[in-house]
Chains A and B, each alone.
Chain A
């Protein structure tokens, strides 16, 4: 079993520009971290629940043999870890048995819809992890709406592969599932995209948004940048500010903790990178390039707002400072 010193976040090797190789390395590193954590929990559960310990060791062995797990397995791990840390090993053992039954992630990006049979295993775990208030913002979508969006998503991915192959490679290395959902009836606010630390490899997208392939590229660059930060945040927080300190966000209307401001700022830089590369691509029609340039200018403005708050109030960890320095260097043209 790896000791803590063996766990690295890969943030020391991080480079701002997207990379297929780095995406694959971060994905492998996250899975190795999961395997080590499962083996450690197995050791603790063995005296009271030997059969569960064996099941967890088997999952860890599958991972170390190169198997990749779908997002629901990570959600179940956090459920189990939380139960174990609060002393409820019986509940942890029950969750371990469910986790042990999760099959390997199939190759490629799986698209599923809230309300569809394919999301039946994932949704209850997401709902439990989100909490009832947050989960209520993610309502089912029809099969027709999902099918229409999946076509747009594939068009967007094809556009990205053609114009931004490194970003496409990085995103497809770390993403396994897209869950489509929408606002519930009567909502005044709706999500357009979301990702969650505890569900590695998952994006949630609202098919009522992202109407063009360019918009799909932009939202994928946005959400995958959150995922990338999650993958790099495994040894220490990005920022050391208290959760109850709130600041104006460049991307949201409500005040956010510094961790949220940090994420929004980094994500804006990644979006600017993606849109600027697209605006320079000779393979694209001139109208699309102009639209990409307009979006890039917005992303740069959002970065400027966010970095001002980070610089004024952020207490960055070593990891957080290292990653943000890279984003700043790109924006500053270094």
Chain B
């Protein structure tokens, strides 16, 4: 593989699935940035959709001594 060879013109994000949406959000000044991560996480628009719930009681009681916490997103 050729490493560090000269590159061609800049890549147009509007030609790339997903990044096109972020580029459109950029244009609307939504606070996203194509190709960026914020705090190690992808921009919100391409982010995880997750349902968080309190840990169910039997499971929580069996691990009561543990001190590790998980912030709800």
Query: A184-B68, A189-B55 are known contacts. Are A33 and B17 too (CB-CB below 8 A)?
Result: yes
> From residue B10, how far is it (CB to closest CB) to chain A in Å?
8
**Which residues of chain A come closer than 8 Å to B50, judged between CB atoms?**
137, 191, 193-194, 204
Within 8 A of A (CB), among B20-58: 20-21, 24-25, 28-32, 34-35, 37, 39-56
A247 contacts partner chain B, Cβ-Cβ < 8 Å: no
**Which residues of chain A come closer than 8 Å to B30, judged between CB atoms?**
237, 240-243
Do A226 and B34 touch (CB < 8 A)?
Answer: no
* Residue from A49, A78, A129, A186 in contact with B69 in the complex, judged by beta carbons closer than 8 Å: A186
Whole-angstrom CA separation of A150 from B39 in the bound complex: 35
Do A183 and B55 touch (CB < 8 A)?
Answer: yes
- We find that the number of chain A residues with CB closer than 8 angstroms to chain B is 75
**Which residues of chain B come closer than 8 Å to A190, judged between CB atoms?**
52-56, 59, 70
A47 contacts partner chain B, Cβ-Cβ < 8 Å: yes
**Which residues of chain A come closer than 8 Å to B61, judged between CB atoms?**
none
Do B20 and A51 touch (CB < 8 A)?
Answer: no
The 8 A CB mask of A191-223 against B (1 = contact, 0 = none) is 111111110000010001100000000000010
**Which residues of chain B come closer than 8 Å to A185, judged between CB atoms?**
63, 66, 68
> From residue B62, how far is it (CB to closest CB) to chain A in Å?
9
A236 contacts partner chain B, Cβ-Cβ < 8 Å: yes
A41 contacts partner chain B, Cβ-Cβ < 8 Å: yes
Do B70 and A226 touch (CB < 8 A)?
Answer: no
> From residue A162, how far is it (CB to closest CB) to chain B in Å?
26
A84 contacts partner chain B, Cβ-Cβ < 8 Å: yes
Main secondary structure of the interface of B (DSSP, over half): loop
Do B52 and A191 touch (CB < 8 A)?
Answer: yes
Whole-angstrom CA separation of A90 from B6 in the bound complex: 11
Whole-angstrom CA separation of A187 from B39 in the bound complex: 21
Whole-angstrom CA separation of A48 from B1 in the bound complex: 8
> From residue A40, how far is it (CB to closest CB) to chain B in Å?
5
* Residue from B2, B18, B25, B71 in contact with A198 in the complex, judged by beta carbons closer than 8 Å: B18
Do A130 and B48 touch (CB < 8 A)?
Answer: yes
Do A252 and B72 touch (CB < 8 A)?
Answer: yes
Do B52 and A263 touch (CB < 8 A)?
Answer: no
Whole-angstrom CA separation of A170 from B34 in the bound complex: 31
Do A260 and B49 touch (CB < 8 A)?
Answer: yes
The 8 A CB mask of A235-274 against B (1 = contact, 0 = none) is 1110011111000000111100101100100000000000
Do A41 and B20 touch (CB < 8 A)?
Answer: no
Do B15 and A40 touch (CB < 8 A)?
Answer: yes
Whole-angstrom CA separation of A251 from B2 in the bound complex: 50
Report the 8 A-B pairs with minimum CB-CB distance, sorted nearest first.
Answer: A186-B66, A85-B35, A186-B68, A48-B5, A194-B50, A131-B40, A187-B70, A131-B41
Interface CB pairs A-B, < 8 A, 13: A40-B16, A44-B8, A44-B11, A48-B4, A48-B5, A131-B39, A185-B68, A188-B69, A189-B52, A191-B51, A196-B47, A197-B49, A244-B31
